[in-house]
Structure 1
Amino acid sequence: MFHPRLALSSLSGQSDAEWARAGADYAGAAVLGGIALDEDARDAARKMVERDRTEFLPEDPLAFVDRQLAALENVPIQAGFNVRSATPEPIAAVAAVCRDRDAFLEINAHCRQAELCAVGCGETLLRDADRLERYVETAVGTGATVGVKVRAEVPGVDLPSLARGLEDAGASYVHVDAMDSEFVIEEIADAADLFLIANNGVRDDETVREYVEYGADAVSVGRPSDNPAVLGRVRAAVDRHLAPTADH
């Protein structure tokens, strides 16, 4: 899907085109966002800003996605956009924008902020697999390349089973925040034939090697994604442990 097999993971209110451009010397992919699409998600984001979180809140989310992806047209990195929505209606429209810009659409089933969960966004989608699969099917129907960002350690959620459902719905990849349960990467790799991006604590050769041994196809860096020293170490480890092969 991309080489080198290092992705920059979205950070709300921070991961824009300028951020992706700055990391292009190290990473093969950059997931911009997250961006709230519908009114419920946008209201939740506004409440989060009121308590000092950073969020993207442009007047027109779809136009913002398009402008940001257009700004990366000549940058040698595979772009993606992480999106949040409490309803399925905006998914097809943003997926079409990503398709037309040759970008991935990443559905956010990851964020655990109370405001987002209260309106049915983020990790609440992990507990509503049917709705999450409908989001994937809707996006895939536009011809976009679709992935889902998930997190481990959510009570009552069986990620390997969820991954199989996402694969059946047409997803191309799953982006897993392993939290402190790195072994879940192996369980998902055994359960589904999705391109598997491992996230959380990726900082050096040891962490990259561990995720690769568990079956990850790629790794991603989140909070230190603007730190050249960390990116340099991770890129060197990716070159050692995830050498280019035929795409998964």
Structure 2
Amino acid sequence: MFEPRVALASLSGESDAAWARAVAEHVGCAFLGGIALDDATRDAARRLVERDRCEFLPADPVGFVDEQLGALETAPLQPGINVRSATTEPIRRIGTVCHDHGTILELNAHCRQTEMCRAGAGESLLRDSDRLAEHVSAAHGTGANVSVKVRAEVEGVDLVSVAETVEQAGGDILHVDAMDSERVVERLSNTTDLFVIANNGVRGRESVREYLDYGADAVSVGRASDDRDVLRAVREAVETERREVAR
């Protein structure tokens, strides 16, 4: 899917092409975004900005994504774009752009902000398997590789069931914020053939070894995504662990 098996997880309002390029030597993939696509999620994003959160709110989300991905065409990494939408048509439009750029389209079923969940995006999709399947199917239909970003420890949500829904609808990648439930990665890796990216607390050899031992195919770094020392340590740990497994 990408090498090295280290990704940058999107940070809302911060993760753009310049952010990815700045540390491209240490990672194999970078998820830009998140980008609110439709009226409901853009209204939610505006309310988040009003309470001092950082959001991307370009006048033309599709054009913005096309421009950002174009800026990474010569970068030595696999780009991805994390998006939030309550409806499927904008997902199809963005998916076409992602397919044209050879980019991963990542559906955000992770955001837990009340405004975004009430809009019908983010974490709310984890509680509605039919809508999640519709979103994944819409993205898959564009020909783009599809990732779904999820989080553990959501009350009443079985992530294994979520993973099965994603896989059956045509998804390729499950990007898992494990929170404090790292062993969920093992359950997901053993249950589906999805490419599993493990996220949360990835900082060096110990955390990398734990996630890879649980069966993760790759790891991602979020809040420390601009820390070159952390990224170097994570990349070296991933490469070392994978060499040892291959022996």
TM over 0.5: yes
Unaligned ranges ≥5, structure 1: none
Q: Secondary structure at the match of 1:131?
A: helix
Q: TM-score, normalised by structure 1?
A: 0.97
Q: Counterpart amino acid of 1:219?
A: V
Q: Counterpart amino acid of 2:180?
A: D
Q: Displacement of 1:142 after TM fit? A: 1.0
* Residue in structure 2 matched with residue 73 of structure 1 by the alignment: 73
Q: Displacement of 1:242 after TM fit? A: 3.0
State yes or no: 1:222 paired with 2:222: yes
Which whole-Å CA distance do the structure 1 matches of 2:62 and 2:245 have between them?
35
Q: Secondary structure at the match of 1:44?
A: helix
State yes or no: 1:13 paired with 2:13: yes
Q: Deviations over 1:136-192 (max 9, x none)?
A: 111111111101000000011110111011111110110000000000000101111
Q: Counterpart amino acid of 1:58?
A: P
Q: Displacement of 1:244 after TM fit? A: 11
* Residue in structure 1 matched with residue 41 of structure 2 by the alignment: 41
1:58-137 pair list within 5 angstroms: 58-137=58-137
Which whole-Å CA distance do the structure 2 matches of 1:137 and 1:107 have between them?
11
Deviation beyond 4 Å, 4+ runs, structure 1:
243-246
Q: Which moved more, 1:29-38 or 1:227-236?
A: 227-236
Tell me if the contact between 1:203 and 1:230 (Cα under 8 Å) persists in the aligned partners. yes
Unaligned ranges ≥5, structure 2: none
Which whole-Å CA distance do the structure 1 matches of 2:97 and 2:46 have between them?
24
Q: Counterpart amino acid of 1:119?
A: A
Q: Secondary structure at the match of 1:231?
A: helix
Q: TM-score, normalised by structure 2?
A: 0.98
Residue 39 to residue 217, structure 1, CA distance change in 2 (3 Å): same
1:160-239 pair list within 5 angstroms: 160-239=160-239
Residue 244 to residue 61, structure 1, CA distance change in 2 (3 Å): farther
Q: Secondary structure at the match of 1:226?
A: coil
Q: Secondary structure at the match of 1:225?
A: coil
Q: Displacement of 1:90 after TM fit? A: 0.6
Q: Displacement of 1:245 after TM fit? A: 9.9
Q: Counterpart amino acid of 1:103?
A: T
Tell me if the contact between 1:7 and 1:28 (Cα under 8 Å) persists in the aligned partners. yes
Q: Deviations over 1:189-247 (max 9, x none)?
A: 1111100000000001000000001110000000000011111111110111134999x
Which whole-Å CA distance do the structure 2 matches of 1:132 and 1:24 have between them?
31
Tell me if the contact between 1:8 and 1:29 (Cα under 8 Å) persists in the aligned partners. yes
Residue 183 to residue 67, structure 1, CA distance change in 2 (3 Å): same
Tell me if the contact between 1:218 and 1:242 (Cα under 8 Å) persists in the aligned partners. no
Q: Secondary structure at the match of 2:91?
A: helix
Which whole-Å CA distance do the structure 2 matches of 1:100 and 1:87 have between them?
21
Which whole-Å CA distance do the structure 2 matches of 1:42 and 1:244 have between them?
46
Tell me if the contact between 1:175 and 1:198 (Cα under 8 Å) persists in the aligned partners. yes
State yes or no: 1:50 paired with 2:47: no
Q: Counterpart amino acid of 2:203?
A: R
Q: Secondary structure at the match of 2:142?
A: coil
Q: Deviations over 1:99-148 (max 9, x none)?
A: 00010000000000111011111000000111111111111111111010
Q: Secondary structure at the match of 1:219?
A: strand
Q: Deviations over 1:66-91 (max 9, x none)?
A: 00000000011000000000111211
Q: Secondary structure at the match of 1:48?
A: helix
Which whole-Å CA distance do the structure 2 matches of 1:43 and 1:135 have between them?
20
